Amino acid sequence: MNNPISITAIASISPLGKTTDEIWKTYQNKSHCITKKMVSGKNVLVAEIFEEAKKEIENLKQSDNKYRSLDDTVLYAIYASRQAVKQSGWTATDNFGINIGSSRGATQLFETYHESFLKNNKAETLSSPTTTLGNISSWVAHDLQTEGPEISHSITCSTALHAMLNGIAWINSSICNKFLVGGSEAPITPFTIAQMQALKIYSKENHKFPCRALDFNKTKNTMVLGEGASMACLESGSQRNALALINGFGFATEILEHNISISSDAKCFQKSMRMALDNMNPDDVDIIVMHAPGTIKGDTSEHKAIEAVFKTNVPALTSNKWKIGHTFGASGALSIELAVLMLQYQEFIGIPYLKHQKAPKKIEKIMVNAVGFGGNAVSILLSKA
């Protein structure tokens, strides 16, 4: 990138908390946010937003009659977007762009409406407008009263980082100088959990750490579903109030042999990371926040890709999925948040169950990875502001 792009605000709601102080405090402890939840008569491991945050979402839902028919995915996005825009000092008249994605969209509402349809052979009035994917960014734009461009999309688990790519592209094209980007997901629903269990990737382990992301010696898949939303405010150039700078980006899609697989050495990640590095010396990257969903193949293939790119000097590696589960379309944005916090506080957040984990000598440049079904990888390179 010839000109950096500033992240001037980042806000989220997730199992980590709903304010920067809460989130950073949660990251500093060595416990996870995964609990058991009764779903379809069975106890399932999940990572939910905590009770105080749920009350905030319920208050938001009841604050406007129109919001009472919205799915949690949309409400999480509205909540996090309000906080991010407030932090950045943007106003509606800035007419900033919005790109918020979700892997699944309005999952809970869709399942509820479909169950009603099967029972009554009749669709309810709001079943269509409240379950469309474009529902997210358009409602955020309505809530923030901005008239800038708004985009919603689903690119599975790399959705939020694709939203960031779009924001970068719009800003670099000079069509729009400010963009709100991120992802939102509320996937802790019976059908979504059943889908992941059918793929045989869901954790059944009720050990001290049910999700073993980055444990390359695990013999079972340990993915756990989490929920939440995270939003970042992007602005052109190096801004005085920047939390971090975007110095590089990369993307790639590989031809798949199977519907959900990527190659054993994640060629898509190799391409996206090399593109993000551009002409930079790979040794300058201090940390990689991996996608690492806690599955055997997902974790090891990404690690092999990192070794192929960084050779003998692999950066310090980490992930937040051991702590908050996999939040699908929001996961990339929550990983960006972790990277920004490590840059700000100059502290590496490692993984407690890993022995001899490499720690960075400095924290100046961090790469964030995400990939989704379909082999669509994105890598974003951040630096200290």
Please write the tens of the pLDDT for every residue from 103-114: 999 999 999 999
E strands, 14-69, in order? 35-39, 42-47
Predicted TM-score of the model (pTM):
0.97
Residue 360 has pLDDT above 80, yes or no: yes
The confidence band for 132, taking pLDDT boundaries of 50, 70 and 90, is confident
Is the Cα dihedral 238, 243, 248, 250 positive or negative?
Answer: negative
Is residue 322 within 8 A of residue 30, CB to CB? The reply is no
pLDDT of residue 363: 98
Span of 12-26, 49-63, 370-384 with lowest mean pLDDT: 370-384
Residue 222 has pLDDT above 80, yes or no: yes
Domain ranges of the chain: 5-384
Does the structure show a pLDDT above 70 at 257?
no
Smallest Cα–Cα separation from 80: which of 31, 32, 137?
Answer: 137
Instruction: State the pLDDT at residue 261.
Output: 62
pLDDT-based confidence at 232, cuts 50/70/90?
A: very high
Q: Which of 270, 254, 264, 253 is nearest to 309 (CA)?
A: 270
pLDDT confidence of residue 207: 83
Compute the distance between CA of residue 130 and CA of residue 107 in angstroms, rounded to an integer: 10
**pLDDT tens figures, 258-312:** 655 678 899 999 999 999 999 999 999 999 999 999 999 999 999 999 999 999 9
Cα distances (angstroms) measured from residue 169 to each of 52, 72, 374: 37, 29, 22
Tens digit of each residue's pLDDT (9 = 90 or more) over 42-74: 999 999 999 999 999 999 999 999 999 999 999
Does pLDDT of 122 surpass 80?
Answer: yes
The pLDDT, as a whole number, for residue 136 is 95
Look at the domain 5-384 and name its fold: Peroxisomal Thiolase; Chain A, domain 1 (3.40.47)
Between 20-28 and 331-345, two packed helices, what is the crossing angle to 10 degrees?
80
| pLDDT(256) > 80 | no
